[in-house]
């Protein structure tokens, strides 16, 4: 079996006003279910909890304090999972939630345990839905809150994934930020993650996204080292997931 990790960002899961885009989530769920039916092991790393919390509490401004953000993510995580559960059930799929922190990956015992847990999920064809446990990580630990890009790379290593797909609001890595420069060009493939590539990624992300391109490049660096490929592509059309698995030339491929 081939193992595929799919990470969907806030910008893919939420609408302009920051609320969850249920229609989009439905399509993502269908793609993942179809892939599992075809025999792939699929793991979903999902953001969107803060957005879901904002929707529930009728808040339209990005949270200003860390505590507020963590509260929103805790509120939103529950409804996010409820939505995934309902939608996956329509495809007769069982899901399980794993809320992880980066610490799981820096302690060997916890790492091995985590790996056993993930494999237990996959053995029973249960789809693991992973999110960073935003509500309990602390800035004091110098852990960036809400960066599921590097989380998805860590998870890819954990379960020895063949492919990581990161879906964003942009169709891949451009040679410069396309939101600022009209003449920016999409890069189809990256073999060597040089300083030039990192500089292209800049620092800014979209309105509700957290990582921006740079965390995706860091994720690419992490996974390509261990032989996992990464594709960054647009989540606007979730059918991109299947297209990428079937090796269509979409987005930016890192090998």
Site of interaction with ligand ADP (CB under 6 A): 9-12, 168-170, 173-174, 176-179, 200-202, 204-206, 209-213
Q: Which is nearer to ligand ADP, 127 or 213 (CB)?
A: 213
Are 215 and 150 contacting, i.e. CB atoms less than 8 angstroms apart?
A: yes
Cβ of residue 112: shortest distance to ligand ADP, in angstroms? 29
Q: CB within 8 A of 233, min separation 6: which ones?
A: 165, 166, 167, 168, 171, 172, 240, 244, 250, 251, 252
Question: Smallest distance from the beta carbon of 134 to ligand ADP, in angstroms?
Answer: 14
Q: Rounded to the nearest 10 degrees, what angle do helices 22-37 and 66-89 cross at?
A: 50
Q: How far is the CB of 205 from ligand ADP (least distance, A)?
A: 3
* Tokens (6 digits) for 209: 């996204």
- Taking alpha carbons only, the member of 239, 233, 228 closest to residue 251 is 233
| Residue 137 Cα distances to 9, 101, 149, 215, 222, angstroms | 19, 7, 16, 18, 22
Closer to ligand ADP by CB, 36 or 222: give it. 222
Q: How far apart are CA 147 and CA 9, in angstroms?
A: 9
CB of 215 to ligand ADP, least distance (A): 7
Q: Toward ligand ADP, which CB reaches closer, 41 or 167?
A: 167
Give the residue ranges of DSSP H helices in the chain. 10-13, 22-37, 49-56, 66-89, 108-123, 148-158, 195-201, 212-225, 240-245
Helices (H) and strands (E) counted in the chain, each on its own, are 9, 8
**Shortest spacing between CB 93 and ligand ADP, in angstroms:** 24
Angle between helices 108-123 and 148-158 (to 10 degrees): 80
Nearer to ligand ADP, 109 or 180 (CB): 180
Minimum CB–partner distance for residue 244 and ligand ADP (Å): 15
Are the CB atoms for 132 and 99 separated by under 8 Å? yes
Closer to ligand ADP by Cβ: residue 21 or 177: 177
Q: In angstroms, give the least distance from the CB of 171 to ligand ADP.
A: 8
The smaller minimum CB distance to ligand ADP, of residues 26 and 179, is found at: 179
Looking at 57-147, list the stretches that DSSP marks H as alpha helix, in order from N- to C-terminal side: 66-89, 108-123
Q: Which is nearer to ligand ADP, 36 or 43 (CB)?
A: 43
């Amino acid at each position: 079996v081939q193992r595929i990790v799919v990470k969907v960002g806030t910008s893919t899961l939420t609408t302009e006003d920051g609320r969850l885009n249920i229609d989009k989530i439905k399509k993502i769920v269908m793609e993942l279910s179809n892939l599992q039916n075809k025999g792939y092991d699929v793991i979903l790393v999902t953001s969107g909890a803060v957005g879901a919390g904002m929707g529930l509490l009728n808040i339209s401004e990005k949270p200003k304090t860390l505590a507020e953000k963590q509260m929103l993510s805790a509120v939103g995580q529950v409804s996010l999972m409820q939505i995934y559960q309902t939608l996956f059930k329509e495809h007769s799929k069982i899901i399980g939630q794993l809320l992880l922190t980066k610490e799981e990956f820096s302690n060997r015992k916890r790492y091995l345990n985590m790996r056993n847990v993930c494999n237990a999920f996959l053995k029973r064809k249960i789809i693991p839905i992973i999110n960073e446990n935003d509500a309990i990580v602390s800035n004091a630990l110098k852990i960036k809150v809400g960066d599921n890009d590097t989380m998805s790379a860590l998870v890819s290593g954990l379960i020895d994934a063949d492919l990581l797909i990161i879906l964003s609001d942009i169709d891949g890595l451009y040679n410069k930020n396309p939101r600022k420069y009209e003449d920016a060009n999409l890069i189809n493939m990256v073999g060597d993650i040089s300083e030039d590539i990192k500089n292209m990624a800049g620092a800014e992300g979209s309105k509700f996204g957290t990582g921006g391109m740079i965390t995706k490049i860091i994720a690419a660096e992490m996974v390509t080292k261990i032989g996992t490929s990464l594709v960054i592509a647009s989540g606007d059309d979730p059918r991109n997931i299947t297209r990428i698995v079937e090796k269509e030339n979409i987005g930016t491929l890192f090998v």
